[in-house]
Structures are given as C-alpha cells and as structure tokens.
Amino acid sequence: MEFASETFTQVLDKYKYDFNSGDIIAGKIFSHEQKGYLVDIGNQKAGYLPHAELSINNQDTPENVFNETREFFILTKNLESKQLVLSVKRLTYIRAWERIKQLKKEDISIKVNVQSINKGGLIVTLEDIQGFIPNSHLGYNYDKTQLLRQSIICKLLMANEHNNKLILSNRCALVEQIMNTTKVGHCMRAQVIDKTTFGVFFDVYGIPALLHKSEIHSRYLQNIDYLFAHNSEWSLKIIHLDSKQGRISVALNDSDKNFQAYESLPSSN
C-alpha cells in the first residue's frame, strides 16, 4: 500500500512516541552547533545536547562523540522549538551513583584515584564522582604529595547522592586488611607517635592505635611524658579492632621490659 506524503506524515504522528523528561533514549550526534550538538533520536525533530551536558569531567571531546550511538537523558523539552534538551552528563551521574550505592551496601574495599590535595585531606574520584578522604582517615605518616595521581585503597563512609557527598576512609580499609591476619589478643612491638589528654598513640601497622588512659594505672598518669617518650618502643596487645571506624585499641603487654620500668616508678601520692 502506498501513502501520499501527507497521509504518511499523519501515520507517523499517530504512532510517534511521546518523550518525557527523565526518559532515557538512544541517539547519535550528527552535528556540532555553536553551543552544543544536534542528536538524531529517530524523531522528526533532532534533540539538542548542550556542551555542558556532554561529560562529568570533560573527558569527551567533539572528535570522539560523532556517529556513535549512545544513550541520552531527557532533561526537558523546549516548548518554543519543540526540541528535546538532552544530557549525557546526567545519565553518567545517575548510573555512577547507582554503582556507588551498591558498593556502599556491599561494604567492600575499593581503589580510588587521587586527583588533588588540600589542607584537610585528599580529593579523589570514584566512578567519575568526586569524593574526599579526610586526613583523619589516612594511614599514619603518609606523605600526601606522593599520593597525587596514584590509587589508594578505601572504604566508603558516606555516600549521599542528594547532597552529592562522598566521604571515604583509607584507614578503615587498612584496618580491614589487618583483621584478615591479626586478631584481638595479638602482641607486637610499636613506637609512640603521639600523646593526648585521653591516652597515647602508637604506630601499629600504619594505623594510629590508642592506648587509652584507662589502660594506664592512675598513679602513673602524671608520668606519661616520661614513660612514653616519642619513638620509644613498647610491647602491646591488641584489645579492639574496628574496621567500621578505622580504629585499633591496645593495652600494655606486661612482659615488656619497659613495663618493668613503668612499674618501678614511685607513686606520685
């Protein structure tokens, strides 16, 4: 059966698909305009892809987007021109967050790329989404400048798509690795790296492990600076491992020779 051109147009109109904002459609970029691209979406009217909606991290260039069938997210419809406004960036963002939320649910360690460094920590990317590792969640004594453009193992602490907030922890991933080979009760030697009002920190396998002041007899607390000089080495026993918070707690091993000196100190009373 043959149709006159007018009749054929009417048939197309009768069966045309009604695209809506939020739909995902297939198309092919075929023309580069001043502020964007025209996309063949199999409709009578070409879709329009603004430059800003091409890529999250500006990885795609005009040279590698032509004549490639790909999916597009419909942002809106221009009521005046009846043209669909499309986005690759938004679709990439949606799918990236789907994968990130699945990783968070599975609670597994992952590797991320360090993009930049600031005073508070590391700026990283995961699935093209920017994230942050605070200094407090890095392993002990890292030289941050050596991590730039490198990959680092982490676990997800917070993944909030609504606020586009992605917080990660290198320390949690390291503690999880330690837990694969080390159990509570394990003894080791470690050096003092810091002292605070609530205890002493030791470098235990690259993690600042806390000897809480409650593990030190009260009559010796005034002698902490003398007892636990920086870099002094002690024999410790692991009493708590927490991969969720990236924490290790330790107690003194009473077989250590330093413990004998500790015990021989006169009472401050």
pLDDT per residue over 210-221, tens digit each?
999 998 877 677
Instruction: Write out pLDDT tens, residues 115-174.
Output: 999 999 999 999 989 999 999 999 887 888 899 999 999 999 999 999 999 999 999 999
What does residue 73 show for φ and ψ, rounded to 5 degrees?
-100, 130
User: Strands 24-32, 69-78: parallel, antiparallel or unpaired by DSSP?
Assistant: antiparallel
HSE-up of residue 40 (Cα within 13 Å, Cβ side):
10
pLDDT of residue 8: 43
CA distances in angstroms from 229 to 193, 201, 202, listed in the order given: 9, 11, 11
- Mean pLDDT in the chain? 85
Tokens representing 91? 């679709």
Domains and CATH numbers, the chain: 5-87 (2.40.50.140), 103-175 (2.40.50.140), 182-264 (2.40.50.140)
C-alpha to C-alpha distance for 199 and 225, rounded to whole angstroms: 11
DSSP 66: B
Tokens representing 228? 């636990």
Asked if pLDDT for residue 187 goes beyond 90, the answer is yes
Grouping H, G, I as helix, E, B as strand and the rest as coil, residue 10 is: helix
Total-model pTM: 0.77
Per-residue pLDDT, averaged over 6-28, amounts to 68
pLDDT of residue 15: 47
Instruction: Write out pLDDT tens, residues 21-61.
Output: 899 999 999 998 888 999 998 877 899 999 999 887 666 66
Asked whether the beta carbons of 36 and 75 are under 8 A apart, the reply is: no
Reported as a pLDDT band with limits 50, 70 and 90, residue 106 is very high
Q: Among candidates 144, 134, 197, which has minimal Cα distance to 169? A: 134
pLDDT of residue 131: 96
Asked whether the beta carbons of 253 and 236 are under 8 A apart, the reply is: yes
